[in-house]
Amino acid sequence: MPTAHPSGWAHADGALRGPHWLREPADPNELVAQLWSSTAHKNDDGALVVGGVDLRDLVAEHGSPAYVLDEDDFRGRARAFRDAFSAFDVYYAGKAFLCTTIASWIAEEGLCLDVCSNSELTVALRGGVDPARIGYHGNNKTTAELRRAVEAGVGRIVVDSFHEIERLVEIAGAARVMLRVTAGVEAHTHEYIATAHEDQKFGFSITSGDAFEAVRRVLAAPGLELLGLHSHIGSQIFDSSGFEVAARRVLALHARVSDELSVDLPEMDLGGGFGIAYTTQDDPSDPAQLATEMSKIVEHECKALGIDEPRLSIEPGRAIVGPSMCTVYEVGTVKEVVLDGPKETKPRRTYVSVDGGMSDNIRTALYDADYSCTLASRRSDAPAVLARVVGKHCEAGDIVVKDEFLPGDVAPGDLVAVPGTGAYCRSMASNYNHALRPPVIAVRDGVTRVVVRRETEDDLLATDVAGTDDARHTDGASS
């Protein structure tokens, strides 16, 4: 029985070709379908086609690197969550990736939108989202940001601290709020994306009593309407067990509010964090399964507590946009290095350097995230080699794909595509080494459309104030 490695390939004889969990692929020309958007496939030439567009043609027209956004796939995933969670309010988590086009698609597909900054709110409104269907997150919202949200008519503000309650009172406007609470749940995920344990910056602790005190203060505050409680346990989560524990603790607080303060909170938000398949080691649940499991959890707990079920909401972001986008790069250099290991085998790894890197995908370096990739420009009959796809930045940790099998004849000029890059890659992209952030190219029915253009050097220089006396005086500095 062959053993699969993260790309899903397995060598028939199980021969070891790299680290202990890797096996040589049966055919590196084939795609592992669950890692890619629904329209992605290889044509007869072995070139990757997404949304009916050959990526060789896309790169010829728009350059590389480029984020390729499959519109049909994005809309299909948005509808799948909307339909599966028809009894819920579904908020697309804009922090995963947001532009005005995405905002308009979300509105057209009937979802709500979650933002966590003033600028995200601007993009949402520009994209035509009804402000009443916008939620506003954030652990340090300023008075100016809160005032803008209230004046815009944002449908709900997720309050994260006692200071924010005070700031909303100072604004003296009407606001509908939810309270973000921490349920003390350890999600099985990276430390930096686990958000429900006690030792972190988000929310009011249920255990310490802060959450109940926050409820009491909001109920006493003029102009504030308390919708309910909000819980988010982390990201890249594959089962409902964490949601079950969190829901139990949050609903217990919900029941306490009803019992002691005689207030029945009408809503509860279970957050997002639903995982996607970056490699075949990942086994995400589909929206229908998630909806069934989460509904049963809340129904069971409410019956046990003797309370009415609140209206529920969720916040998928990665689960919608993550698989809908891939990134295409051009190979620049290739080199082979000898790895540590038994002298008789002399294991080797091929380093494939591409024209992007940690400036367009920081997740590998920041979260030790795993990705897969494929040769996207041609078919190859060359034996597969263990490869590491790396960027062009001056950092040893500038890695895009840690371990993958690619054809042994991969060469400069080839195109390599990485699936599952829709969530957080463009959102967290940077100008490190003064790199220009890539464009986002939407594809559908064989047509490309630029939805976020490629940055230019003029964009960089626009904020680089010249060191003249006039510039220094303009900035308020003294000579």
Whether pTM exceeds 0.85: yes
Encoded tokens for 376? 């996207």
DSSP letter (8 states) at residue 478: -
* Residue-level pLDDT at 233: 85
Buried b (16+ CB within 10 A) or exposed e, 149-174: bbebebbbbbbbbeebbebbbebeee
Nearest to 416 by CA among 332, 323, 330: 330
Residue 394 known to be catalytic: yes
Using DSSP bridges, classify how beta strands 447-452 and 89-93 pair: parallel, antiparallel or unpaired.
unpaired
Answer whether 194's CB lies under 8 Å from 186's CB: yes
> Could you read off the pLDDT tens digit of each residue along the chain, which spans 479 residues?
333 333 333 333 333 333 433 445 557 788 999 999 999 999 999 999 999 999 999 999 999 999 999 999 999 999 999 999 999 999 999 999 999 999 999 999 999 999 999 999 999 999 999 999 999 999 999 999 999 999 999 999 999 999 999 999 999 889 999 999 998 765 554 343 344 456 677 899 999 999 999 999 999 999 999 999 999 888 888 877 778 888 999 999 999 999 999 999 999 999 999 999 999 889 898 999 999 999 999 999 999 999 999 999 999 999 999 999 999 999 999 999 987 766 666 678 999 999 999 999 999 999 999 999 999 999 999 999 999 999 999 999 999 999 999 999 999 999 999 999 999 999 999 999 999 999 999 999 999 999 999 999 999 999 999 865 555 555 544 43
* Cα–Cα dist 131/108, whole Å: 14
Nearest to 23 by CA among 13, 36, 34: 13
**Residue of 112, 326, 394, 425 marked active site:** 394
- Torsion angle of C-alpha atoms 223, 227, 231, 237, degrees rounded to 10: -130
Domains, the chain: 33-69+323-455 (2.40.37.10), 72-321 (3.20.20.10)
Secondary structure of 152-211 in HEC code, one letter for each residue: HCCCEEEECCHHHHHHHHHHCCCEEEEEEEECCCCCCCCHHHCCCCCCCCCCEECCCCHH
Q: CA distances (Å), 455 to each of 81, 307, 417, 451, in order?
A: 33, 53, 20, 12
Tens digit of pLDDT for each residue in 209-253?
A: 999 999 999 999 999 999 999 998 888 888 777 788 889 999 999
* Residue-level pLDDT at 25: 52
